[in-house]
Structure 1
């Protein structure tokens, strides 16, 4: 399957500080590329994988599930862990769910967690119809592209396959259940005005994660895809500062 131009994975070999960057559902590495590039410019070793089914066609995404996405992220983590002394997991939206799963799974092997508008279990009543609806309707309108800054576009699908969305919902449930296992330092950046993931997800994380070291920053000038929005420089600066602090790098 041909990868869309701009949706390619990104990697950079640098210092003994590894940064694992995870993109969101129906999106691609394009949405996280500026942040990954900034980390590379700072000298860190960076891996930004393209999740299976993403950056190609929505039909291909419909043939994948959360275990496929997790395997790609876990493989990238293990590669970083083998090459570096420290690893920080970074993710936006569903990428935040996956980064949280990395922290839950690998414990002390993760030095810190950066979450940008992360997705966790949601109470939207419409989602309750997914188990049945996925067998009747193959897709719905797109979820991507929620950006406040004029003239900026996310490379995301025009349709959302419901089987994949239902699979993501199953991942939300597992990761949300295990949030008390998160003990690493956390930087949570989220938009009060987000048309994709409700602010309640960030509130849920802050309430249930066991981390003693939690920093919360509001992205008041951005919508959901904040890494491409007005607050992108703030996100990049705060992420680099956080990585250096939790890895005790000068």
Structure 2
């Protein structure tokens, strides 16, 4: 899929070269790497190599997004993973919202991923979008304001969402749901207790369906759906760093 529009200012992917531990980060539906950039910058400051990927059809124009299938988004994240493999020995993946769905999908395919972190991942229900699952008359719908509790936060996002893309999102969720029982890597899941897009029960479903020996949940009480930009963003970044360090130290200990 060739995009026909240029990338919006500030919406491009980002890469910070650090040590041999790589962290791949995916934004969510209609979002851009800008929504997870704080997280990326924090982890880079901790010495990690970080790549925030821009999913195809995102960060340009919603007409580009309309031409994408969910396989294009899967491929975008896989390309990011392959890029990081050239620079790093160990790779972790973080996903916000649909990025969390893609992260789960990726982790069942690449078993050498050391661990994944999910931020309000979507897997079985998105109430505001349910009405469009079988709608073949509308082309675009208004997106509304991003679901962020903090004041004066600007997210680069589309003002409209293609109905076809919403349907592709639900198809991605269905495929990933079927694969959850073969996810075995360590998982840290962040769950906003007040989320007006993806109900917190999505996180419960994920954790009850995967087969990981290590699976943790952290409840967020001061952020809405786009938690990576919200009041808990620093806390999320800190917890991700601690989770990664803990897993790396366990690997080191087991080698000894």
**TM-score when scaled to structure 1?**
0.94
Q: Which of 122, 126, 138 is the aligned partner of 2:125?
A: 122
Give yes or no for the alignment of 1:110 onto 2:113.
yes
Tell whether the 8 Å contact from 1:186 to 1:214 is kept in structure 2 after alignment.
yes
Pairwise CA distance, 1:57: 1.1
In 1, the alpha carbon distance for the partners of 2:210 and 2:77 equals 21
Per-residue CA deviation, residues 163-186 of structure 1 (Å, 9 max, x unaligned), is: 011011111001111111111111
- Determine the structure 2 residue equivalent to 1:91: 95
In 1, the alpha carbon distance for the partners of 2:25 and 2:77 equals 9
Give yes or no for the alignment of 1:212 onto 2:233.
no
- Determine the structure 1 residue equivalent to 2:51: 47
Tell whether the 8 Å contact from 2:223 to 2:232 is kept in structure 1 after alignment.
yes
Give yes or no for the alignment of 1:225 onto 2:226.
yes
What SS does the corresponding residue of 1:157 show, helix, strand or coil?
A: coil
**TM-score when scaled to structure 2?**
0.92
- Determine the structure 1 residue equivalent to 2:23: 19
What SS does the corresponding residue of 2:22 show, helix, strand or coil?
A: strand
Give yes or no for the alignment of 1:180 onto 2:184.
no
- Determine the structure 2 residue equivalent to 1:240: 241
Pairwise CA distance, 1:123: 7.4
Tell whether the 8 Å contact from 1:23 to 1:95 is kept in structure 2 after alignment.
yes
Question: Structure 2: where are the runs of 5+ without partners?
Answer: none
Give yes or no for the alignment of 1:73 onto 2:77.
yes
Pairwise CA distance, 1:127: 2.5
Pairwise CA distance, 1:130: 2.2
Distance 1:59 1:236, change over 3 A: same
How many residues are treated as equivalent by the alignment?
247
Distance 1:130 1:152, change over 3 A: same
**Structure 1 segments of 4+ aligned residues over 6 angstroms from their partners:** none
Distance 1:124 1:230, change over 3 A: closer
Tell whether the 8 Å contact from 2:126 to 2:199 is kept in structure 1 after alignment.
no
Per-residue CA deviation, residues 142-195 of structure 1 (Å, 9 max, x unaligned), is: 166100001112111111111011011111001111111111111111101001
Tell whether the 8 Å contact from 1:27 to 1:144 is kept in structure 2 after alignment.
no
Tell whether the 8 Å contact from 1:143 to 1:160 is kept in structure 2 after alignment.
no
Pairwise CA distance, 1:106: 0.5
